[in-house]
Amino acid sequence: MIDRQRLDFARAGSMAYFNWAANSQKLTISSNLLRLALHRNVALTNQFEAGLLPRIVLTDNQRLVVSRELSHVQARRRFEAASLTLSLSYRDGNGAPIVAPIDSVPPAFPAPTELDEATVGIASHRAMDLRPELRRLQINRQKLEVDVRLARNQMLPSLNAGAMVMNDFGKQIYFDLVDPQVKAGLEFKIPLQRREARGRLDELAGQLGQLTNDQRFAQDRIRNEIWDAFSAYRAAFDQTRQTHLNVTLAQELLSAEASRFELGISDLLALQIREQAAFDARILDVDASVDVFRALADYRAATASDLSGDKLSHDGKSP
């Protein structure tokens, strides 16, 4: 039970940490997007007051500022909630929860390492010795096997042998005991309740058969958990390559559109669309990155890696 709680705590702590890191990055991305609209609002206000652009353009950007302020408030709320959740696992030397500030967040996720099927196969085999559920079932089997031996022993007849020496000492209280006497005897017993013991054996045999099925099902379920976590990890790992490329392309388009807007070739609507596309690309990239480490936390829990002393390492570093 303690080992099961250790695995659950390690998984929950990992999930809380990476969720906190992801929401921090999303808050930073939202802040940068809002800053762009605020900075542009100052320039558009000056141009409007100089009579260089119509009022509707300034109003449109002001609407955009309000919309992004709302998104920023929501992002800040999600980050604060993630910080409180993380504090349940992140504590000081006295055990008091620590609400981590945003400036303590790493600038980026650690680089994940790619898992291969051979490594997963080894971990799956090792998990059969480490997973607490299987160890609990094995302990139950040992207990039932002891009960079986006891029930079989109760069905067996018993043969007891004994001997004694009798002699009168003192003032001859027993007048018929003049000389020492030696007696020996055998006692043979057959249990009268053999039917009850046999019924107990049948009951235990049924329990052992059910336990065997439970062990087999638990092993199959654990294997499925491990390979499902590996599949999720591999899919998320592959997605990060695409989301990284998506961010690069969206940023290039935004830079080009911003240059066109400054030259007066493009309009504000086109620029807003490019900014939103770049924002969405970054959010997708954060989600894909955190999915990698969520899947890794599931994989480590499924393989009971935190019970074997393994350390979560990426490029030689532990986040």
User: Tens digit of pLDDT for each residue in 217-260?
Assistant: 988 999 898 999 999 999 999 999 899 999 999 999 999 988 98
Q: pLDDT below 50 — which residues of the chain?
A: 311-319
**Per-residue model confidence (pLDDT) at position 264:** 80
β-pair partners for 159: 188
User: Tens digit of pLDDT for each residue in 103-133?
Assistant: 888 877 777 777 888 888 888 888 888 888 8
- In three state form, how does the secondary structure of 81-114 look? HHHHHHHCCCECCCCCECCCCHHHCCCCCCCCCC
**Per-residue model confidence (pLDDT) at position 160:** 74
Count CA within 13 A, CB hemisphere, residue 24: 19
**Residue 314: φ, ψ to 5°:** -135, 115
**Per-residue model confidence (pLDDT) at position 167:** 64
Instruction: Record the pTM.
Output: 0.72
